[in-house]
Amino acid sequence: MPPPAGITAEAWLVADAGSGAILAAHNAHLPDLPASTMKMLTALTVLPGLPPDREVTISDQAAQVDGTRVGLVPGVRYTVRDLATAMLIASGNDATVALVEAAGGREAVLDRMNRLAASLGASETVAGDPTGLDAPGQHTTAHDLAVIGRAALNDPIVRGYLTIPRASLPGRGDERFEIANHNTLIGSYEGTIGIKNGYTVAAGATFVGAATRNDRTLIVSLLRTAPAYGTDARALLDWGFAHAADVRPVGRLAGPSDVTPGDPTTAGGAVAPGAAPGGTGERAGRADSRGAGQDGGSPPRRATTGDAGDVGAVTWTALAVTVVATALTVFGRVRRRRGVAGRATGRTTRSGSGSAGRWDAAGLGQSGGRRGRSTTPGKVPGRRGHRRGTNRTRRDSAAARARRERQSVVEEYQATRSAASAPRPRTDANGQRHLVGLPSLHPEPGRSRTDSSRTDTPPFGTARSPRP
């Protein structure tokens, strides 16, 4: 039979809760965010260990948690029964946090939740927040939600809360307030027995529901569906009840029987070999290769090195190469450190024939070369008997000759310029001599030396003015 058409959910599954047979599915193993459907796993983890009549005082942290709250009052004592009711029918995050605190705290409960999911066969589920609020690394699949929902139906403690239509809780003083079940199928779809809905902006709407008709119980799970999730849920349940007796199952839900007790692979969230097939022909409880168990979950699977567990030849070869590379690196560093130490002490080397002289205390040679190198041809500082080629000696000699030639050219140019710029005596029309470029020190006929129109400051560039 073709599956029902018009389903808006990105991933969905409908299965027989009794036999575990998957009647139809779409993207059953596609990881996505669970939203508040994660509270099913939280209830399975904490409620069996908390007496229903035990009273729990609400902390400030529980009363101020993000998301949906039923309005629990800080400092007021509530029974576990009231808190479980608020968590499962009204999705109260404040009630969830209060139960988690009473059960040992967030980290301890998350660890137990992930271990329980693996033991149930929900190997593609990682719990990151007991309330279902979006958390790093948290994800589930439509298959796993059906597995967890099936476990909730089979747990008598949890199942007793799923179909409560409404309840009242104590408030401040003698006040009480009422809460209602958020499952829209309760009272509107015949035979509904739960289970849980959820919603966050990032996850969209999620839902796990179940209904019983004619001694047959079907379970449906939806991920990333429309906010009016009831439309998809009713369509899948209607199709399942109509064709359950005739349809050929496409797989089977994983269960505790598919997990081998004590197997380290199952403890890490992977399903033991031989698990029942899933909705797409693959193993329904296959290990999640996208990091299941890394965020507060179970430990990862152990890696093997071979059939006998021995180290192979490739490993020994890599180890040998690593040792040799390390030794060469250390040897090179020692050589560099010795060379640096020798240059830092400013020690000198003996001058041979044709050498440029000894190094001074500052480490600079007579030719003005680089620090820390000897000018003795063919010698390496700090090492005796080692010959260096003559190329560097030739380069040093050529550099010295070039410097001497440049110095002589500069001196010759400066001498020529000085001679050209020397002042020359000149005789004016009155037979008086003065320097070229300077005004006469004698007053001109008919002009007073105190005449304001004349300045005794020579023009720029003359012999008396400073050079530019």
Does the annotation flag 379 for ligand binding? no
> Catalytic annotation on 353?
no
- Exactly one of 19, 39, 298, 397 is catalytic; name it: 39
Question: Looking at 36, 221, 298, 355, which residue is catalytic?
Answer: 36
Alpha-carbon distance of 179 to 127, in angstroms, equals 26
Which of 91, 221, 298, 374 is catalytic? The answer is 91
Q: Give the CA count within 13 Å in the CB-facing half-sphere of 155.
A: 23
Q: Which of 223, 281, 232, 273 is nearest to 252 (CA)?
A: 281
87 neighbors 123 (Cβ within 8 angstroms)? no
Do the beta carbons of residue 47 and residue 158 sit within 8 Å? yes
Known binding-site positions for substrate: 196
Give the annotated binding-site residues: 196
Catalytic residues: 36, 39, 91
